[in-house]
């Protein structure tokens, strides 16, 4: 069977900025027959995520991320529909997902590695299982619950960097649902800031490209910062940490500002900021959602319930066509999208 697939065409280098041309669309073939325990699936949606930048390097810098190989098909979160099954728990027409879905139009996969989806849980919006009701939503929810120490009635202020991105836009809303009394986002355009406040219920948002961020933070968080959901690292995070309270907490979700630099993860803080962290007993622990998979099912159901009730607003940037996945990746790394970046492969 002839298919289309996307392979890693070149590496940007440890300190390079990824571009669409790092990926290549090509024609390939897969077997015409499905073996016992396998299913043939047609790809519907693929997820494009910041962590994938690390997979473009020969060394990902992580013990849980495998590097993509040159001229080999890339992979990540994906959703598809079963076309043929020789796996007893899946039938033709079932919708399924995997965290290691190949970037190709049709694939033959091990049925035991696929998770069956229930579209009704997300009001039929299958792509939500790659975002708000998938690994992105789980990262936001479990990060807040496991590392944020949010307590209803404690009058806590949360700040979210990268707040208009896939995880940040959910984290601010979940922080509120979990009990934070004030939520402030940091984003890169006035449009993003407006959406955070008017659509997603943030109390305020700061355009970090305009004005004095430290001054705006002091004005918007007069009682200091109790919980910081950190998606970006770098200067923005240093500014937030300098205004955090005693015994406060950093949820170390991502460091996208550092992904194009050859630095360890998590990147070390500047000496003056590290001193503040230690003196104020601010927790800053690496968070990996895969360590909490025993809580996955209950957490996904909670996220789906909030979506159905309209308590969790979801934004997606959908790019049509497998051929455009490289451009979608480049745009996502440049902060050009609002919410989750999804590539629609086939409908």
pLDDT grade for 290, boundaries at 50, 70 and 90: confident
Is 196 in contact with 207 (CB distance < 8 Å)? Answer: no
Question: Residue 285's CB: how many other CB atoms inside 10 A?
Answer: 11
Q: Which two tokens stand for residue 50?
A: 């910041």
In this prediction, residue 333 has a pLDDT band, given cuts at 50, 70 and 90, of confident
Tens digits of residue pLDDT in 111-140: 999 999 999 999 999 999 999 999 999 999
- DSSP per-residue string spanning 216-275: HHHHH-TT-EEEEEESS-HHHHHHHHTTEEEEEEEEE---GGGTTS---SSPPPPHHHHH
Cβ–Cβ < 8 Å for 197, 126: no
d(CA 56, CA 326): 12
Higher pLDDT, 231 or 260: 231
Q: Tell me the CA distances in angstroms from 39 to 4, 92, 127, 270, one per residue in order.
A: 18, 9, 20, 50
Q: Let me know the angle formed at the C-alpha of 131 by 128 and 134, rounded to the nearest 5 degrees.
A: 90
pLDDT digits (tens, 9 = 90+) for 23-37: 999 999 999 999 999
255: confidence class by pLDDT, cuts 50, 70, 90:
low
- Residue 265 confidence (pLDDT): 60
Average pLDDT of span 154-178: 95
Of the candidates 56, 28, 100, which has an alpha carbon nearest to the alpha carbon of residue 332?
56
Predicted confidence (pLDDT) at residue 54 exceeds the cutoff of 90: no
Residue of 260 and 67 predicted with greater confidence:
67
**C-beta atoms surrounding 267 within 10 Å:** 15
Check for a shared fold between 2-131+315-344 and 135-290: no
Q: How far apart are CA 159 and CA 174, in angstroms?
A: 12
In the predicted structure, residue 347 carries a pLDDT above the cut 60: no
Cα gap 11→290, rounded to integer Å: 26
Of the candidate ranges 65-79, 136-150, 247-261, 268-282, the one whose mean pLDDT is the lowest: 247-261
Tokens 């902060």 sit on residue:
335
Give pLDDT, residue 258.
Answer: 45
The full set of domain ranges for the chain reads 2-131+315-344, 135-290
Per-residue DSSP letter, 285: E
Q: What is the CATH number of domain 2-131+315-344?
A: 3.90.180.10
Q: Is the pLDDT of residue 63 over 80?
A: no
Under 8 Å between Cβ of 142 and 120? no
Give the chain's radius of gyration (CA, Å).
20
Per the prediction, the chain carries an average pLDDT of: 92
Question: Taking residues 229-238, what's their average pLDDT?
Answer: 92
DSSP letters for 94-154: -EEEEEEEESBSEEEEEGGG-EE--GGGGTT-GGGGGTTTSHHHHHHHHHIIIII---TTS
pTM to 2 decimal places: 0.90
pLDDT at 260 over 50: no
**What pLDDT shows up at residue 261?**
44
List b or e across 55-67, with b for residues whose CB sees 16 or more CB atoms inside 10 angstroms.
bbbeebeeeeeeb
**43-47, 77-81, 104-108, 282-286: the lowest-pLDDT one:** 282-286
How far apart CA 167 and CA 174 sit, in angstroms, is: 10
Interval 176-232: pLDDT, tens: 999 999 999 999 999 999 999 999 999 999 999 998 999 999 999 999 999 999 998
Name the fold adopted by 135-290: Rossmann fold (3.40.50)
pLDDT at 346 over 90: no
Q: Which residue has better confidence, 78 or 256?
A: 78
User: Which residues 6+ apart lie within 8 Å of 291 measured at CB?
Assistant: none
């Amino acid at each position: 069977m002839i298919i289309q697939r996307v392979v890693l065409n070149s590496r940007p280098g440890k300190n390079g900025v990824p571009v669409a041309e790092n990926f290549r669309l090509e024609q390939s073939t897969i077997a015409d027959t499905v073996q016992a325990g396998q299913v043939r699936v047609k790809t519907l949606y693929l997820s494009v995520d910041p962590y994938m930048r690390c997979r473009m390097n020969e060394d990902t810098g992580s013990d849980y991320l495998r590097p993509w190989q040159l001229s080999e098909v890339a992979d990540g979160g994906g959703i598809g529909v079963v076309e043929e099954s020789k796996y007893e728990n899946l039938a033709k027409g079932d919708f399924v997902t995997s965290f290691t879905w190949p970037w190709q139009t049709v694939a033959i996969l091990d049925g035991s590695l696929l998770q069956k989806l229930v579209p009704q849980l997300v009001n039929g919006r299958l792509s939500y299982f790659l975002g708000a009701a998938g690994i992105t939503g789980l990262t936001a929810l479990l990060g807040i619950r496991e590392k944020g120490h949010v307590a209803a009635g404690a009058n806590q202020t949360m700040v979210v960097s990268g707040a208009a991105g896939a995880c940040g836009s959910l984290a601010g809303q979940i922080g509120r649902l979990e009990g934070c009394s004030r939520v402030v986002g940091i984003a890169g355009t006035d449009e993003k800031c407006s959406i955070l406040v008017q659509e997603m219920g943030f109390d305020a948002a700061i355009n970090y490209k305009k004005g004095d961020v430290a001054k705006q933070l002091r004005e918007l968080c007069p009682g200091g910062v109790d919980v910081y959901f950190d998606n970006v690292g770098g200067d923005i995070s240093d500014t937030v940490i300098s205004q955090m309270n005693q015994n406060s907490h950093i949820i170390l979700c991502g460091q996208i500002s550092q992904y194009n630099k050859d630095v360890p993860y998590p990147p070390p803080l500047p000496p003056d900021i590290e001193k503040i962290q230690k003196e104020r007993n601010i927790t800053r622990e690496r968070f990996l959602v895969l360590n909490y998979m025993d809580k996955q099912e209950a957490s996904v159901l909670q996220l789906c319930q909030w979506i159905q009730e309209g308590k969790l607003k979801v934004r997606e940037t959908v790019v049509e066509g497998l051929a455009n996945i490289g451009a979608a990746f480049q745009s996502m790394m440049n902060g050009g999208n609002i919410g989750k970046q999804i590539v629609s492969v086939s409908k």
